[in-house]
Structure 1
Amino acid sequence: MTDPAFDADTLRERALTTLTTARARTTLLTSCVEEPDLTAQHSPLMSPLVWDLAHIGNQEEMWLLRAVAGREAMRPEIDGLYDAFEHPRAERPSLPLLPPAEARHYASEVRGRVLDILESTAFHGTRLTEAGFAFGMIAQHEQQHDETMLITHQLRKGPQALTAPDPDPVPLFTGPSEVLVPGGPFTMGTSTEPWALDNERPAHRREVPAFYMDTTPVTNAAFQAFIADGGYDTERWWTPEGWAHIRQHSIHAPLYWHRDGKQWLRRRFGVTEVVPPDEPVLHVCWYEADAYARWAGRRLPTEAEWEKAARHDPASGRSTRYPWGDADPAPEHANLGQRHLRPAPAGSYPEGESPLGIRQLIGDVWEWTASDFLPYPGFQAFPYKEYSEVFFGPEYKVLRGGAFAVDQVACRGTFRNWDYPIRRQIFSGFRTARSAGDA
């Protein structure tokens, strides 16, 4: 969808579908556990689930009912409670939050009014309404919170509350381990994707020297070899900050892993299971990804390298929306939308590979890159500085590609995620690269 000139009916249908899909996921994530699990804080890194629920409704009210439709505030007294920048996550349980039933009612009432205004909103005239941007922004916001709520479910102790079918089994991948990405310029970012967020803009030319990139994400088996070779005990593989961090916190394996005799086990959504050797490794921080890459004689790709590998079509010279082209993701392309609660085996989704044959660049696991989170040339904050601008700087590393927890509305070849290099509770993995001139 590189041309934003959609008719109003098409835009209205897309907005309705994405909002409805997001709310169905929110409802499942907040109805599969009892009230004590909704109001508890399962980790100081995450909000109580009931905070996310009311925050979703509050943001929808603020942007769609107030900013777009000009309606009066429904409950202005709660705005401060659900301002993510006013209250850090660790403090949110102490706030006078709406109880679960009231939070559900509030979010539902907001949604009913939003669907009413959706019927009459003109998708032009302001930057917020152009091509339905505000509706897309809110759908993406809700799906991002659905991802954080899934992270909370993984952190939650207790019996399994969520289930989903596993990805289809695939033959062991026997293709090349790496692919050459030719050097030269490409178009990074976008100026035409209607629902792209501010940090994805504007489109600009980048010159990227030739490099090799892993054909698939690094697997659990490969990461176990790093562990077995003393990777966590060998200082030379780590940055000084990374070495200090893993020593201080006694980190010796990915989060949720533990050793049982000769095998590694992991806890996944309340179930303990053998770590699958052929799945992409999950729940590693940037420091762990970087150390593995050094141990393997490689490095993490830069953000520009990652996007060129994911979007550049050497035959046409175009930057496409996704590795497979411009079509929206379908189930055969990528593991998205929480339809599975785990990554698919490395080498899955051949129909989603890039023109160069690189697989799983979209979905399965967020992929750490070597790059700090910085603005593109010509960046302009919109519609508020707190979405991206306040996070720019060397404190945050960029992740790309999305994960199984991410919905397609919040995932594309230009989409940028970011987090602290110590974060492991997120659905993060990685792949490695090397410069073409390296031996």
Structure 2
Amino acid sequence: MTAQSEDTTLDPEALRERARTALLAARDRTTLLTSCVEGPELTAQHSPLMSPLVWDLAHIGNQEEQWLLRAVAGREAMRPEIDPLYDAFEHPRSERPKLPLLAPDEAREYAAEVRGRALDVLDSTPFHGTRLTEAGFAFGMIAQHEQQHDETMLITHQLRTGAPALTAPDPGPQVSVAFHGPSEVLVPGGPFTMGTSAEPWALDNERPAHPRLVPPFHIDTTPVTNGAYLRFMADGGYENSRWWTPAGWAMVRDGGLDSPLFWRREGGQWLRRHFGVTEPVPPDEPVVHVSWYEADAYARWAGRRLPSEAEWEKAARFDPASGRSMRYPWGDADPTPERANLGQRHLRPAPAGSYPAGESPLGVRQLIGDVWEWTSSDFLPYPGFAAFPYREYSEVFFGPDHKVLRGGSFAVDAVVCRGTFRNWDYPVRRQIFAGFRTARDEEDA
């Protein structure tokens, strides 16, 4: 899609082509993630936190059938008897291996048949008339849903043991010299527009656009690196309760934690398991696989704090020259390989300080892609929020149990990643591709 500002009406045929491209790209990725391992690996549960890969595959097809074939096109259900099996709210992940799920070949055939019919619906559906079809929203929603499950399946691949099954098509930026720019950036105080009312495929929790007043603050120029996190660990970060909330300290003690997930110490060196490969922890990459509690403890140890969600979005979208909020840190144009690390292209975070073409007008880097970034904020609705098209996407998760993450990761596709996109999870979660950056008030020394 060409660059668009928040108040631009998008051409329906351009959106139709964008939807087709997004749906096909998502299916290519789904196919890769479910064809690189044998059948038993698809039906196994590699962690009680995750579904079997074959469940995700059929769930993707079932959601597409329900929304594009039934809700948009008004067609009869193809396989109504399987709806309960692939209802994410009816069966928790830990129970899904016990269900009579479609076998891998049957799941592939079902998803492929749904996709063929859905593309016909895309060609014939006017992009107006209902909220689901306006600007192709339902098709964009389904493309985003599939890519979100692709990220979930990539997490499952990280959790599985055994030989590597995935390789990166592009090794990523080769940085011979560590980033030596300023360690933090001052974000000016004042109002800015948070959220969106115009982004055609924005999901309900991103809406509506509304003014937000944010005092001046400093924010890290790049995400916190493994090297910086190792200094926290070496200083007894996991051994001193003063840095932790009570719940975080209980997590550390009960779990015997001393490092991020997938790390281990061997022969005086910290190693990590990364998609089946054991390697030394790269000091210049953003730290990943840390919980909110770990991010918060590091920030306290460093004499700083996690940014609020509003602070993060202002750092990512606010243009001080024009005073407006942009779609992305670099402007309104869609992500490109030069601007952000997305779509499992590198299969890892890029070194801190990479992607200068993607920095914000204030000079903050890597706000989009690389690692999801924990914020200090609970997941709450914006003023004027309205659930659409179903409560279970956002509304049922609002409250203090979930913390907001922003910015996407190397595992996120561009269709699911924009300056307004909101992710959320429990503060104990470590298997997700999450890191963080820190902030401080302007008056702090």
TM-score by length of 1: 0.99
CA distances 1:262-281 after superposition (whole Å, capped 9, x unpaired) = 21100000000000000000
Please tell me whether residue 304 in structure 1 is matched to residue 310 in structure 2: yes
Give the equivalent residue in structure 1 for 2:351. 345
How far off is 1:8 after superposition?
2.6
How many matched pairs? 439
2:71 match: secondary structure: helix
The 8 Å contact of residues 4 and 193 in structure 1, kept in 2 or not, is answered as no
Give the equivalent residue in structure 2 for 1:251. 257
Q: Distance in 2 between matches of 1:119 and 1:379?
A: 31
Give the equivalent residue in structure 2 for 1:52. 56
2:307 match: secondary structure: coil
Please tell me whether residue 425 in structure 1 is matched to residue 431 in structure 2: yes
1:38 match: secondary structure: helix
Give the equivalent residue in structure 1 for 2:379. 373
1:180 match: secondary structure: strand
Moved more, 258-267 or 281-290: 258-267
The 8 Å contact of residues 4 and 194 in structure 1, kept in 2 or not, is answered as no
Of residues 297, 315, 326 in structure 2, which corresponds to 1:320? 326
Give the equivalent residue in structure 2 for 1:73. 77
How far off is 1:260 after superposition?
1.1
Q: What residue identity is the alignment partner of 2:28? A: A
Give the equivalent residue in structure 2 for 1:169. 174
Give the equivalent residue in structure 2 for 1:124. 128
Give the equivalent residue in structure 2 for 1:291. 297
How far off is 1:340 after superposition?
1.0
Of residues 85, 88, 103 in structure 2, which corresponds to 1:84? 88
Q: Distance in 2 between matches of 1:4 and 1:118?
A: 23
How far off is 1:370 after superposition?
0.2
Give the equivalent residue in structure 2 for 1:184. 190
Give the equivalent residue in structure 1 for 2:147. 143
1:397 match: secondary structure: strand
Give the equivalent residue in structure 2 for 1:228. 234
Q: Distance in 1 between matches of 2:61 and 2:100?
A: 16
Q: Distance in 2 between matches of 1:3 and 1:187?
A: 13
CA distances 1:65-105 after superposition (whole Å, capped 9, x unpaired) = 00000000000000000000000000000000000000000
Q: Distance in 1 between matches of 2:153 and 2:143?
A: 15
Q: What residue identity is the alignment partner of 1:22? A: A
Q: Distance in 1 between matches of 2:10 and 2:442?
A: 42
Q: Distance in 2 between matches of 1:118 and 1:128?
A: 12
Of residues 421, 430, 442 in structure 2, which corresponds to 1:436? 442
Give the equivalent residue in structure 1 for 2:335. 329
Q: Distance in 2 between matches of 1:424 and 1:388?
A: 21
How far off is 1:7 after superposition?
2.5
1:179 match: secondary structure: strand
Where in structure 1 do 4 or more consecutive aligned residues deviate above 6 Å? none
How far off is 1:4 after superposition?
5.4
The 8 Å contact of residues 398 and 418 in structure 1, kept in 2 or not, is answered as yes
Identity of aligned residues (%): 80
1:147 match: secondary structure: helix
Of residues 218, 221, 224 in structure 2, which corresponds to 1:218? 224
Q: What residue identity is the alignment partner of 2:171? A: D
CA distances 1:151-206 after superposition (whole Å, capped 9, x unpaired) = 00000010000001321212310000000000000000000000000000000000
Q: Distance in 2 between matches of 1:6 and 1:177?
A: 39
Please tell me whether residue 409 in structure 1 is matched to residue 415 in structure 2: yes
Q: What residue identity is the alignment partner of 2:422? A: R
The 8 Å contact of residues 5 and 131 in structure 1, kept in 2 or not, is answered as no
Of residues 384, 388, 396 in structure 2, which corresponds to 1:390? 396
Q: Distance in 2 between matches of 1:288 and 1:10?
A: 43
1:232 match: secondary structure: coil
Q: Distance in 2 between matches of 1:4 and 1:48?
A: 42
Q: What residue identity is the alignment partner of 1:166? A: P
Q: Distance in 1 between matches of 2:321 and 2:173?
A: 31
2:100 match: secondary structure: coil
2:124 match: secondary structure: coil
Q: What residue identity is the alignment partner of 2:44? A: A
Q: What residue identity is the alignment partner of 1:288? A: E
Q: Distance in 2 between matches of 1:107 and 1:64?
A: 13
Q: What residue identity is the alignment partner of 2:428? A: I
Q: Distance in 2 between matches of 1:7 and 1:187?
A: 25
How far off is 1:54 after superposition?
0.1
How far off is 1:383 after superposition?
0.2
2:33 match: secondary structure: helix
Give the equivalent residue in structure 1 for 2:212. 206
Q: Distance in 2 between matches of 1:193 and 1:115?
A: 23
Give the equivalent residue in structure 1 for 2:102. 98
Of residues 282, 287, 305 in structure 1, which corresponds to 2:288? 282
Q: CA RMSD in A?
A: 0.6
The 8 Å contact of residues 337 and 407 in structure 1, kept in 2 or not, is answered as yes
The 8 Å contact of residues 4 and 131 in structure 1, kept in 2 or not, is answered as no
Q: Distance in 2 between matches of 1:236 and 1:8?
A: 56
Q: What residue identity is the alignment partner of 2:160? A: R
How far off is 1:209 after superposition?
0.3
Q: What residue identity is the alignment partner of 2:86? A: Y
Q: Distance in 2 between matches of 1:111 and 1:187?
A: 37
How far off is 1:3 after superposition?
4.3
Gaps of 5+ in 2: none
The 8 Å contact of residues 213 and 301 in structure 1, kept in 2 or not, is answered as yes
How far off is 1:5 after superposition?
2.3
1:123 match: secondary structure: coil
Give the equivalent residue in structure 2 for 1:110. 114
